[in-house]
Amino acid sequence: MQGIWTTERIRAAEDLLLARTPDGELMRRASFGLAAEVAGLLAENTGGVSGRRVVLLVGSGNNGGDALWAGAFLRRRGVAVAAVLLKPEKAHPAGLAALRRSGGRVVSIADSPQWIEKADVVVDGIVGISARGALRPEAAELVARIEAPVVAVDLPSGVDPDTGAVDGPHVTAARTVTFGALKPVHALAPQECGNVVLVEIGLRPWLDEPDLWRLELSDIAAVWPIPGPEDDKYTQGVVGIAAGSATYPGAAVLASGSAVRATAGMVRYAGHAADVVRSRWPEIVATGSVTDAGRVQAWVVGPGIGTGGEGREILRHILGQGVPVCADADATTIIAHTPEVLDARDPDTPLVLTPHAGEYERLMGRRPGPDRVAAAREAAKKYDAVVLLKGHCTVVAAPDGRVAVNTPRGSWLATAGSGDVLTGLIGSLLASGLDPWLAAAAAAQVHSLAGALAAEDVPTSASGLVDAIPAALRLVRAIA
């Protein structure tokens, strides 16, 4: 798992490291790595480094200092470097002196447009982890002129370092070069960061438990249930699916199919779409009601069950079974409107909730807002449940405070029925006995991987997602 630390934690660790490191050493490490990445991008895009043109946008702090030092290193490789100082009186003195010594040029804001237009790469050193809010007008005006690919120093300026929120003009980078450790912006604002490259500066020993996690494919491979020689259809966990209706069987077919494809364990279906489910997935044991469904190790409940009295009774029955439950879609709405259904739950049995922003609002009485990590954490605490907050980046919070962020692979999952597929994946992992937070986070990753594989650059459908689950799992196991 990759750790991610908030800027407050990064700053505290940097203070400890700075106190033990010669003056300027950390910035030199950071900017040397930055210069190498800029040179790499120049070579990729233009076929060379020497003679290419780089413009540095330099703000008033150390982020600008990194850019200036990187400019000095790039000069040694024959790059023509021009620095635009947004606040000349506050530009990092040692960095500016180094750039000048190396033969780099400083251009005024008034002259900068012609330089920006001719640049092969623009380096965004406007603001780093001390950033607050969107770009200020002067910086925004320069950024609007950029046509060349941008390398962001530490993070794209104008994007909030701790929430990834964007609230006005900001930089959109082709590559973000960060130092010492990943910050929340890197996981939460993938579209603005582009490719994220981490340059080691020796910070890691000064950081303890991360604030957020990102699962790697090897983590998923390590926990995904694969049958061993001793296993049979029951030992791997039986998942029950209570979804869909006679009029709307789609949710039932998708959630059940996803569970069938996710693990080799058995899948039971209970509800009004039993005939349709059975004909599409003959391996599923389907019955008409949750009361005669037989024993399962986890339940998925909600998609398409309706929000009326029958849905409520189904949910109440399932919550009383003493096994982990993934409550999705209509079940979320039922919980929001009649929270007393949760009285049926044994507090020790795991519950996973999977709200999108609208469902979150029903559950919590307000929208998630720009700090989606805090929003998910709050809901997890309130409901004593793992909360998977859907969005472009999925945030998975456990009641104990652990948070995983799933950086998407494209926007392919924005298709009808996609949520039903995710809930089937979560249910089958819960049935295998996996920690519910890990189950939800791993399911979200495999879901987005299946989306990317199914789409292959053209739109896909939820059925396509179900069909791509085996390929996604094959890839997970191959990479691990």
Ligand X SMILES: NC(=O)C1=CN([C@@H]2O[C@H](COP(=O)(O)OP(=O)(O)OC[C@H]3O[C@@H](n4cnc5c(N)ncnc54)[C@H](OP(=O)(O)O)[C@@H]3O)[C@@H](O)[C@H]2O)[C@@H](O)CC1
Report d(CA 429, CA 262) in Å as an integer.
8
At a CB cut-off of 8 Å and minimum separation 6, what does 114 contact?
Answer: none
Minimal distance, residue 60 CB to ligand X, in Å: 5
Q: Which of 342, 314, 344 is nearest to 241 (CA)?
A: 314
60 binds, among K ion, ligand X, none (CB under 5 to 8 A by kind): ligand X
Is residue 448 a contact point for K ion (CB under 5 A)? no
Instruction: Confirm or deny that 232 is annotated as ligand binding.
Output: no
115-144 binders of K ion (CB under 5 A): 124
CA atoms within 13 A on the CB side of 309: 0
Instruction: Confirm or deny that 129 is annotated as ligand binding.
Output: yes
Is residue 133 a contact point for ligand X (CB under 6 A)? yes
Q: Which of 276, 286, 338 is nearest to 307 (CA)?
A: 338
Is residue 172 a contact point for K ion (CB under 5 A)? no
150 binds, among ligand X, K ion, none (CB under 5 to 8 A by kind): none
Instruction: Confirm or deny that 128 is annotated as ligand binding.
Output: yes
Task: Tell me if residue 409 falls in helix, strand or coil.
Answer: coil
Q: Which of 112, 157, 263, 407 binds K ion (CB under 5 A)?
A: 157
Is residue 126 a contact point for ligand X (CB under 6 A)? yes
179-238 binders of ligand X (CB under 6 A): 179, 201
Minimal distance, residue 1 CB to K ion, in Å: 26
124 binds, among ligand X, K ion, none (CB under 5 to 8 A by kind): K ion
Cβ nearer to ligand X, comparing 50 with 130? 130
Q: What is the DSSP string of 173-207?
A: -SEEEEESSB-HHHHH-HHHH-EEEEEP-S-GGG-
Task: Tell me if residue 388 falls in helix, strand or coil.
Answer: strand
Is residue 132 a contact point for ligand X (CB under 6 A)? yes
Minimal distance, residue 124 CB to K ion, in Å: 4
Q: Which of 38, 49, 61, 455 binds ligand X (CB under 6 A)?
A: 61
Q: Which residue blocks in 352-399 are alpha helix, DSSP H?
A: 357-364, 372-383
Is residue 455 a contact point for K ion (CB under 5 A)? no
Minimal distance, residue 60 CB to K ion, in Å: 12
Task: Tell me if residue 55 falls in helix, strand or coil.
Answer: strand
66 binds, among ligand X, K ion, none (CB under 5 to 8 A by kind): ligand X
Cβ nearer to ligand X, comparing 58 with 252? 58
14-43 binders of ligand X (CB under 6 A): 14, 18, 26-27, 30
Instruction: Confirm or deny that 95 is annotated as ligand binding.
Output: no
Q: Tell me the sheet residues that pair with 474.
A: none
Give the position of tokens 């919550």.
319
Q: Tell me the sheet residues that pair with 195.
A: 175
Query: Token pair for residue 297?
Result: 């190790």
Cβ nearer to ligand X, comparing 130 with 338? 130
- Identify which range of 125-133, 317-325, 380-388, 404-412 contacts ligand X by CB under 6 A: 125-133
Is residue 130 a contact point for ligand X (CB under 6 A)? yes
Instruction: Confirm or deny that 452 is annotated as ligand binding.
Output: no
Size of the site for K ion (CB under 5 A): 4
Instruction: Confirm or deny that 195 is annotated as ligand binding.
Output: no
- Identify which range of 59-67, 293-301, 304-312, 413-421 contacts ligand X by CB under 6 A: 59-67
Is residue 162 a contact point for ligand X (CB under 6 A)? no
Task: Tell me if residue 339 falls in helix, strand or coil.
Answer: helix
Is residue 57 a contact point for K ion (CB under 5 A)? no
| CA of residue 46 relative to chain centroid, distance | 31
Minimal distance, residue 75 CB to ligand X, in Å: 19
Instruction: Confirm or deny that 211 is annotated as ligand binding.
Output: no
Is residue 432 a contact point for K ion (CB under 5 A)? no
Size of the site for ligand X (CB under 6 A): 28
At a CB cut-off of 8 Å and minimum separation 6, what does 208 contact?
Answer: none
Instruction: Confirm or deny that 385 is annotated as ligand binding.
Output: no
Q: Starting from the edge strand earliest in sequence, which strands make up the sheet with 351-353, in order?
A: 2-4, 212-214, 403-406, 394-397, 386-389, 351-353, 325-327, 298-301, 239-242, 267-270, 285-287
Report d(CA 153, CA 365) in Å as an integer.
38
Phi, psi of 443 (to 5 degrees): -60, -40
Q: Which of 6, 39, 55, 63 binds ligand X (CB under 6 A)?
A: 63
CB 316 within 8 A of CB 341: yes
Distances (CA, A) of 229 to 184, 236, 253: 42, 12, 30
Is residue 66 a contact point for ligand X (CB under 6 A)? yes
CA atoms within 13 A on the CB side of 146: 27
At a CB cut-off of 8 Å and minimum separation 6, what does 379 contact?
Answer: 353, 355, 360, 363, 364, 385, 387, 389, 397
Q: Which of 129, 267, 323, 472 binds ligand X (CB under 6 A)?
A: 129
Report d(CA 264, CA 148) in Å as an integer.
49
Q: Which residues bind K ion (CB under 5 A)?
A: 124, 152-153, 157
Q: Binding-site residues for AMP, please? A: 390-394, 419
Q: Give the residue ranges of the annotated binding site for K(+).
A: 63, 124, 157
Q: Annotated binding site, which residues? A: 62-66, 124, 128-134, 154, 157, 251, 304, 356, 390-394, 419-420
Residues that bind ligand X (CB under 6 A): 14, 18, 26-27, 30, 59-64, 66, 126-133, 135-136, 139, 153-154, 158, 179, 201
Binding positions for (6S)-NADPHX: 62-66, 128-134, 154, 251, 304, 356, 420
